Chains A and B, each alone.
Chain A
Amino acid sequence: MLSRWKMGLLAGALAVLGLWASARAQQPDKEPSPFQVPPQPKPVNEVIQEFPSNDEMRTAWKVHWATSTGFGLTLQGAWFKRAPKEPWMQVVGDCRLSEMFVPYHSGSPRFWDISYNFSLCKVNKNEAGPHGKVLGNPPNVVCEVRDRGLAFVDTGKGGRRGQKLVLFATLDAANYRYVIEYGFQDDGVITFRVGSTGRNYGSREWEGHMHNGLWRVDVNVDGPANNSVLVMEHMEPVGAEQANAKTIHRPFNDGREGFEDWDPLKFTMLSIQNDKKRNIRNQPAAWDVMPLRHGNARHYGPDNEECTQHDFWVTQNRKGEIYYVKLPKYVAKAEPIMNTDVVVWVSTAGHHEPRSEDGEMKGTSFNGVTQLMWCGFDLRPRNVFDRSPLYP
């Protein structure tokens, strides 16, 4: 016969397993019928912006943003509407500054300022500016529509100014600050930027160092499926005629997970395309990674710096793979990156050689602030529109 305490233990265990089973049972085995789904309220982290903001709509963006310690401001997804009556087309899923690697010239320190799990700064009205809307609880994200200057100047119909929706937030990395900014332009471009600012490192105020902004971008052109990553290169000269040039379109790393480098003589670009989504010219819709580079960073410290030794990496989109340092492991399987769900990883590095404008020594302490230095890249549509966007 079971003693009273054993009975109690057994009852407790059964209750736990019962709750467990009930939690399991609540998970749907298959997609519910569309007739059973009640209308979902707009998520609090959704921003929808139509362009132009002050006239009849031409294009629009829908953005889901998120914040966390470590990664700061991230995107859960972004969808573009190329015309008022068109459906939303997904462009990206999860996007984040996956790492900010900061090695000093003397060899140490070598900081990994995303992995170190810093928090976001609270934003104030000065930083938000006159048109910025502050989001988040605590308030740490700014959302605003900016004039982006001229979008084009046409010989026949003159010029037009463009706009972009911008979301930004600032990571509080001890003495340093990183402004993480995503821009969504009226012409379908997404801009990825990280700006380095703050106080030069105590005792190394005048030592050169690097700020490697290392991005993870889950490009989902018209959804996650059927995406392929190509490299576009400009070649010159080709053939016997020295004046001849050509463009090469080829699968990234022979169509397998791996890396490639940026060659300034080839104007290396990546193009992530969906063969199943075609425009009026029957061209596959794509978004191109447009590098805006200060240079190519290469670091040769401990083994975990191998991830900094190439400019672009591509992986399949697998669970749990968000850490830039682990990229060499992620690509080891060399799985296909054609017609699947792909993630593009982009290195955007800046060299910080301190200058008097960063600040001054006052006695034994350093006073002043390093002005923002921006690094980043653009994701630009290719054959997404049927004609020039925003054209009269």
Chain B
Amino acid sequence: MEPFVRKPMLALALAALLTSGCNSADRDDKQPNFVLSANEVRLAKTLAEHELGIEPHAQSRADRVVFVKVDLLPAAETERLVMVHHYRYQGDETIFTMVNLKAAEILSQEIEAHYPTALAPGEMERALTLARADGRIQPVLQIGNIVMEARPIQFSKAGDPLFGHRVAHVLLQRDGDYLATPVIYVDLTSETVNLKN
């Protein structure tokens, strides 16, 4: 894979990052070395998304790609390696982009279908919003003292209607205890709420 420096369009796209006082190797020296700075995360995300050809604001619901997380990878002190994770709704795909932050260089990009991927914070929030708005759940919420929490869940059997979909299980707690029912699966792929009592 070509290092990004050979791609002048990306150099321009990164101008804001670079001229705002951070260069490719910047991290926060006050933090321990295992903490990724906001600049590092931004750089990794930008490089990966350029390689993917993503335009985050121009995505339809079906083919949207969400940025999930960046993992710091073990590396020699001369390198600062990260793995950027994106999720593509189309095909239930996780995209792994390995980036050397010190060289601002992409080392590899791989795609896995049906991989157990985390939900992005925005997706968790969306799942809670959809659940909260569902009329069938309102009576439970009106009991009071209910805390809602979204966690990832995958349906792995090929015949399951939720197979290959992006799903959050919304758990309900009352006074710290989890309710056995209702069981709420929010399907973020179809933006529907599935309920089991």
Contact = CB atoms under 8 A, between A and B. Distances in A.
Chains A and B belong together in one complex: yes
Interface size bucket, B side? Answer: 35 or more
Contacts of B155: 108
A112 interface: yes
A27 B103 contact: yes
A130 to B, nearest CB: 26
Contacts of B126: none
Contacts of A13: 8, 11-12, 15
B181 A364 contact: yes
B12 A70 contact: no
A20 B5 contact: yes
Contacts of B119: 116
Contacts of B116: 111-112, 115-116, 304, 325
A235 interface: no
B23 A23 contact: yes
B144 interface: no
B74 A94 contact: yes
A88 interface: no
B15 A27 contact: no
Given A117-B69, A205-B180, A362-B177, A43 B157 contact: no
Which residue among A9, A111, A205, A362 has the maximum number of chain B CB atoms within 10 Å of its CB?
A111
Contacts of B172: 202
B18 A28 contact: no
B65 to A, nearest CB: 17
B32 A45 contact: yes
Contact of A76 (B8, B19, B74, B108): B74
Contact of B32 (A66, A304, A365, A366): A66
A20 B71 contact: no
Given A16-B11, A301-B156, A70 B69 contact: yes
A371 interface: no
B78 A203 contact: no
A225 interface: no
B24 A320 contact: no
Nearest to B25: A23
Contact of B117 (A20, A67, A115, A361): A115
Given A23-B104, A304-B116, A325-B116, A66 B34 contact: yes
Nearest to B13: A16
Contact of A365 (B25, B104, B152, B180): B180
A366 B178 contact: yes
Interface in A276-298: none
Interface in B169-191: 169, 171-172, 174, 177-181, 183
A15 B16 CA distance: 11
B19 to A, nearest CB: 7
Nearest to A200: B178
Which residue among B15, B116, B154 has the maximum number of chain A CB atoms within 10 Å of its CB?
B116
Interface residues of A, number: 59
A116 B71 contact: no
Interface string B106-126: 011000101111110000000
Contacts of A173: 151
B156 A110 contact: yes
B24 A108 contact: no
B118 to A, nearest CB: 4
A107 B163 CA distance: 13
Given A23-B24, A109-B153, A320 B180 contact: no
A111 to B, nearest CB: 7
B69 A108 contact: no
A69 interface: yes
A57 interface: no
A12 interface: yes
A325 B98 CA distance: 17
Interface string B71-104: 1111100100101000000000000101000111
Interface of A: 9, 12-13, 15-17, 19-20, 22-24, 26-28, 43-45, 66-71, 74, 76, 93-94, 107-112, 115-117, 173-175, 199, 202-203, 205, 218, 301-304, 319-320, 322, 325-326, 361-362, 364-367
Given A15-B15, A304-B115, 7 more contacts: A9-B12, A12-B15, A16-B18, A20-B18, A44-B32, A93-B74, A115-B115
21 contacts: A13-B8, A19-B19, A26-B25, A27-B25, A28-B78, A44-B32, A68-B34, A108-B156, A111-B116, A111-B152, A115-B116, A115-B117, A175-B178, A202-B172, A202-B180, A203-B196, A205-B180, A319-B73, A320-B108, A325-B115, A364-B180
Interface of B: 5, 8, 11-12, 14-15, 18-19, 23-25, 32-34, 68-69, 71-75, 78, 81, 83, 96, 98, 102-104, 107-108, 112, 114-119, 149, 151-157, 160, 169, 171-172, 174, 177-181, 183, 196
